[in-house]
């Protein structure tokens, strides 16, 4: 039994002084002045106690462009933990040939022995036929209640609008939640062909060939499909102020649509892609403008978004040069693959360990969001939406003892050394932080103690998620 004493609890509802008693994997008591009899005592005076972060949008060990994302289900989970996140959700690709179940089993084979924090799966639906339609409800027995569809990547991942509508109708009948990547794939294809024909191959053309208006159009179109299907909808990685406008428009009219944005869209812009190392910022959808940064922050502050995830999908900037990771030299082909052609740059960036520390200093510390909103966007809301609350995302009796002891006074210069992501760069290198995780517990076990890693591969637990709620 463990008693964490004299901390300040920060939840989505408020902040207050309290102790937390833990027995095994669960919180059993929360309140001031708890009795320490029979328990080990950890003094958290001057520290904040928060529920472990829940990141609903990660991509580990994902094959792309003749390489693979550089974090697997161990290294990425470890990085998450050092950043205060104790639950992650990954996406299971749909196999070109084979059942949805076979795809889930293949992803379990990747994750089960490596997982170092608790995790769940979403299922990608990138090909629709009668067999897939029959199998979708069976995903619930596998603990998967969410399906992701794409409006982009023609010929690879995209479903047509009618197919998306059909899936929405189907999952509505079973209480499941559709998720949507909202871009205009047809416009992207035309603009990419035109850019290459004109000899435009540098990194900034990744953004220029995926215009913001295509996302605005797709968010409204996806919301309209959900309205007509009487289905809820979760739109991932929203990246422009115009998309936030459409989210607000739909919700004001009673559409059960929810939106996620990510730190990269709050802090960076297309200008970063024009830098000599601009490939570091390549992700899909891309960064927008500084005006979009401001518009997205305004929407976050106004609670118009429901979640801040990461879309963590890291690649080496230069995969020809090894880095040291846990005493071993590691090199994985990365963004250098597209040095002469932006269409060959692997899409994705490291973020899972950065989310909480960066948002605390530059969100809470800068007065843009409150500590309660911080917990709401990064833990409580994703736990509720994805069927894990109050087991996750809460500090209350019966919840898993996923607890972050946060030092609000710690100051540091951030970067690769603190993020623990298995890649050769960090987008926030050199940024000054105030406030950082000190200790991290996963189901009652300390897995991070300052700079010391106490977790292990296989220590995470697969989460059979139930049906979530609309927020």
Q: Where are the domains of the chain?
A: 2-50+394-453, 53-385
Nearest to 93 by CA among 112, 106, 75: 106
Phi, psi of 190 (to 5 degrees): -65, -45
At 308, list the tokens: 């801040």
Interatomic CA distance for residues 58 and 414, integer angstroms: 21
Interatomic CA distance for residues 372 and 369, integer angstroms: 8
Enter the DSSP assignment of 316: -
What is the per-residue pLDDT for 36?
Answer: 81
CB 285 within 8 A of CB 262: no
Q: List CB contacts of 53: < 8 A, sequence separation 6 or more.
A: 80, 83, 84, 85, 86, 87, 355, 356, 378, 379, 404
Q: Which CATH superfamily is domain 2-50+394-453 in?
A: Urease, subunit C, domain 1 (2.30.40.10)
Q: For the segment 71-111, what is each residue's pLDDT rounded down to a tens digit?
A: 999 999 999 999 999 999 999 999 998 999 999 999 999 99
Model confidence at 440: pLDDT above 90: yes
Q: For the segment 320-376, what is each residue's pLDDT rounded down to a tens digit?
A: 999 999 999 999 999 999 999 999 999 999 999 999 999 999 999 999 999 999 999
Mean pLDDT score, 50-66 = 97
What value, to the nearest 5°, has the Cα angle with vertex 443 and ends 118 and 176?
45
Q: List CB contacts of 314: < 8 A, sequence separation 6 or more.
A: 69, 70, 71, 76, 348, 349, 350, 351, 421, 422, 423
Q: For the segment 276-326, what is each residue's pLDDT rounded down to a tens digit?
A: 999 999 999 999 999 999 999 999 999 999 999 999 999 999 999 999 999
**Other residues' Cβ atoms within 10 Å of the Cβ of residue 230:** 11
Which fold does the domain 53-385 belong to in CATH? TIM Barrel (3.20.20)
Interatomic CA distance for residues 311 and 348, integer angstroms: 8
Interatomic CA distance for residues 11 and 30, integer angstroms: 12
What is the per-residue pLDDT for 6?
Answer: 97
Q: Would strands 233-235 and 2-10 be described as parallel, antiparallel, or unpaired?
A: unpaired
Q: List CB contacts of 118: < 8 A, sequence separation 6 or more.
A: 86, 87, 88, 392, 400, 402, 442, 443, 460, 461, 462, 463
Q: What percent of the chain has pLDDT over 70?
A: 100
Three-class secondary structure of residue 440 per DSSP: strand
Mean pLDDT score, 42-47 = 98
Q: Note every long-range contact of 448-454, with CB atoms under 8 Å and residues 24 or more positions apart, other chains counting.
A: 448/81, 448/82, 453/78, 453/81, 453/82, 453/420
Beta bridge partners of 403: 51, 441
Beta bridge partners of 121: 90
Q: Cis link prior to 285 (omega < 30° from 0)?
A: yes
Three-class secondary structure of residue 153 per DSSP: coil
Mean pLDDT score, 124-149 = 97
Q: For the segment 11-34, what is each residue's pLDDT rounded down to a tens digit?
A: 999 999 999 999 999 999 999 999
Q: What is the DSSP string of 5-26?
A: EEEEEE-SS-EEEEEEEEETTE
Q: For the segment 379-418, what is each residue's pLDDT rounded down to a tens digit?
A: 999 999 999 999 999 999 999 999 999 999 999 999 998 9
Q: For the segment 161-198, what is each residue's pLDDT rounded down to a tens digit?
A: 999 999 999 999 999 999 999 999 999 999 999 999 99
Q: For the segment 232-262, what is each residue's pLDDT rounded down to a tens digit?
A: 999 999 999 999 999 999 999 999 999 999 9
Nearest to 236 by CA among 277, 308, 180, 285: 180
Interatomic CA distance for residues 208 and 94, integer angstroms: 29
Locus of tokens 């106690």? 49
At 207, list the tokens: 């953004």
Q: What is the DSSP string of 79-123?
A: HHHHTTEEEEEEEEPPPSSS-HHHHHHHHHHHHTTT--SEEEEEE
What is the overall mean pLDDT for the chain? 97
What is the per-residue pLDDT for 60?
Answer: 98
Interatomic CA distance for residues 400 and 1, integer angstroms: 14
Q: Would strands 177-181 and 445-449 be described as parallel, antiparallel, or unpaired?
A: unpaired
Enter the DSSP assignment of 349: B
Interatomic CA distance for residues 219 and 162, integer angstroms: 16
At 194, list the tokens: 């035109």
Interatomic CA distance for residues 352 and 80, integer angstroms: 5
Torsion, Cα 274 277 281 285, to 10 degrees, reads: 50
Interatomic CA distance for residues 7 and 235, integer angstroms: 36
């Amino acid at each position: 039994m463990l008693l964490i004493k004299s901390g300040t609890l920060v939840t989505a509802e408020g902040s207050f002084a309290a102790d937390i008693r833990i027995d095994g994997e669960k919180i059993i008591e929360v309140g001031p002045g708890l009795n320490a009899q029979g328990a080990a005592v950890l003094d958290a005076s001057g520290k904040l106690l928060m529920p472990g972060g829940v990141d609903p949008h990660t991509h580990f060990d994902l094959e792309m462009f003749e390489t693979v994302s550089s974090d697997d289900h161990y290294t990425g989970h470890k990085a998450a933990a050092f950043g205060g996140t104790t639950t992650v959700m990954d996406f299971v690709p749909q196999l070109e040939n084979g059942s949805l179940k076979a795809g889930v089993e293949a992803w379990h084979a990747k994750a089960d022995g490596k997982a170092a924090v608790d995790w769940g799966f979403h299922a990608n639906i990138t090909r629709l036929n009668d067999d897939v339609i029959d199998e979708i409800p069976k995903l619930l027995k596998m603990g998967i209640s969410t399906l992701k569809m794409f409006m982009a990547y023609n010929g690879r991942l995209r479903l047509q609008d009618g197919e998306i509508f059909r899936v929405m109708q189907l999952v509505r009948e079973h209480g499941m939640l559709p998720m949507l990547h909202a871009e205009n794939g047809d416009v992207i294809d035309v603009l990419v062909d035109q850019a290459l024909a004109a000899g435009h191959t540098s990194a900034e053309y990744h953004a220029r060939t995926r215009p913001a208006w295509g996302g605005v159009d797709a968010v409204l179109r996806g919301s309209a499909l959900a309205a007509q299907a009487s289905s809820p909808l979760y739109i991932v990685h929203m990246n422009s102020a115009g998309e936030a406008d459409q989210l607000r428009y739909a919700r004001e009219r009673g559409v059960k649509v929810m939106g996620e944005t990510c730190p990269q869209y709050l802090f960076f812009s297309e200008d970063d892609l024009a830098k000599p190392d601009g490939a570091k910022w390549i992700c899909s959808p891309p960064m927008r403008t500084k005006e979009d940064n401001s518009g997205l922050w305004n929407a976050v502050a106004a609670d118009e978004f429901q979640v801040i995830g990461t879309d963590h999908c890291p690649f080496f900037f230069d995969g020809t040069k090894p880095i040291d990771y846990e005493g071993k030299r590691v090199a994985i082909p990365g963004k250098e693959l597209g040095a002469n052609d932006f269409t060959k740059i692997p899409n994705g960036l490291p973020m899972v360990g950065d989310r909480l520390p960066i948002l605390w200093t530059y969100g809470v510390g800068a007065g843009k969001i409150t500590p309660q909103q911080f917990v709401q966007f990064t833990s409580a809301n994703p736990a509720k939406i994805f069927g894990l609350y109050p087991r996750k995302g809460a500090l209350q009796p019966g919840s898993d003892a996923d607890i972050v002891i946060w030092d609000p006074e710690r100051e540091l210069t951030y970067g690769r050394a603190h993020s623990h992501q298995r890649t050769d760069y960090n987008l926030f290198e050199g940024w000054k932080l105030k406030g950082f995780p000190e200790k991290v517990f996963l189901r009652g076990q300390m897995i991070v103690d300052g700079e010391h890693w106490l977790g292990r591969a296989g220590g995470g637990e697969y989460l059979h998620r139930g049906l979530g709620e609309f927020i």
